[in-house]
Structure 1
Amino acid sequence: MLGSGFKAERLRVNLRLVINRLKLLEKKKTELAQKARKEIADYLAAGKDERARIRVEHIIREDYLVEAMEILELYCDLLLARFGLIQSMKELDSGLAESVSTLIWAAPRLQSEVAELKIVADQLCAKYSKEYGKVVDELNCGRQQYCLLSASRSCVMRM
């Protein structure tokens, strides 16, 4: 299969692309949330409380997603800062484990919005083994995943 092995330069380039894409999405979603807040005020003034409540739930969900994207951006920055460590070590460094596992876990969940995140996750799995990627996804390894999207899930479950 072509391109199935670990390529350090491909990982580095895609980490940078993910950071840029996340920044753009964060800005876009934040601006849309600001506009939606004005709409909510209009709905409340017009007495459309139920419609306003639905919009508020959507804004809350988007705010949590923006926070999750900020965390992912920080993890990508961390991996870039310690890229020499990724290249030189065959085993996963304990200082990078949370970042790596979170990015692998988040990739299928944000793949539709950040396609490069899947490439990053694939490269990390190629580096540290496909089995590691499966374990991360199945067991939700790492503490940060819970913080990352648990609030988003709770909003979705209530609807």
Structure 2
Amino acid sequence: MGFIHRRTSKQTGKVKTLLGLALTRLAVARRPRVARRSISSSDVGQFLALGHLDRALHRAEHVIEEDNILEAFSIIELYCNRLIENAKQLDKPHECGEDTREAAAGVMFAAGWCGELPELLFARPILENKFGDDFSMMAKDGTDIVDPMLVWKFSGNKRNMELKKKVVKEIAAENNIQVKLF
């Protein structure tokens, strides 16, 4: 009798468990990233204080990279929570809301970029089975159905000189350092 009244399938339960574990691991993975971002930011400030603008610009790449990953982690956290909350919809993927489909696509895309979150790699095949091959191919490629911001955060150009200059200016302002950028 309990089998007939089950709320979600076994696979959906497994995805919920994996995403819950991913949320826990996200909190752990975030800590060293925050520390590295802080150290890199401090290095930029020190290089600016010493007048080494070229080194500061180079070190700004690390600040940008850590910022991007931390922001991507926030997006992934949002997606995991959304999928856990809407787990009942996963049993009928053709009836899923747009936000649930976007979350599933984001998790599937992030699985390929986040070695720190192996649970996403285990959740991806289950989501692929639920949503189908076309959906999963687009999600893995980061096209159409994946949030462009998430794609950019993982694959964005951290060597963009304008972005590095912006980061250096912000850090200089925080440290009350006058800097002239070319």
Q: What TM bracket, shorter-length normalisation?
A: 0.7 to 0.9
Residue 14 (1) aligns with residue 23 (2): no
Q: How many Å separate the matches in 2 of 1:149 and 1:109?
A: 10
TM-score normalized by the length of structure 1: 0.82
Which residues of structure 2 form unaligned runs of 5+?
1-9, 165-182
> 2-side partners of 1:41 and 1:105: how far apart?
35
Q: Which residue of 2 aligns with 1:150?
A: 152
**1:47 Cα deviation (Å)?**
2.6
- Corresponding residue number in structure 2 for 1:3: none
3-state DSSP of counterpart to 2:144? coil
User: Is 2:79 the partner of 1:75?
Assistant: yes
Aligned residue-pair number: 151
| CA RMSD of superposed structures (Å) | 2.3
Question: Where does residue 135 of structure 2 map in the other structure?
Answer: 132
Residues 1:61 and 2:35 are matched in the alignment: no
Q: Given that residues 111 and 121 in structure 2 are in contact (C-alpha distance below 8 angstroms), is that contact kept between their aligned partners in structure 1? A: yes
Q: Is the helix fraction higher in 1 or 2?
A: 1
Greater CA radius of gyration, 1 or 2? 2
Q: Whose RCO is larger (CA < 8 A, sep 6+)?
A: 1
Tell me, in whole angstroms, the C-alpha distance in 1 between the residues paired with 2:150 and 2:21: 20
| Cα distance change, pair 157–117 in 1 and its aligned pair in 2 (3 A) | farther
Identity %: 22
Distance 2:120 2:127 in 1: 10
Change beyond 3 A, Cα 1:108–1:65:
same
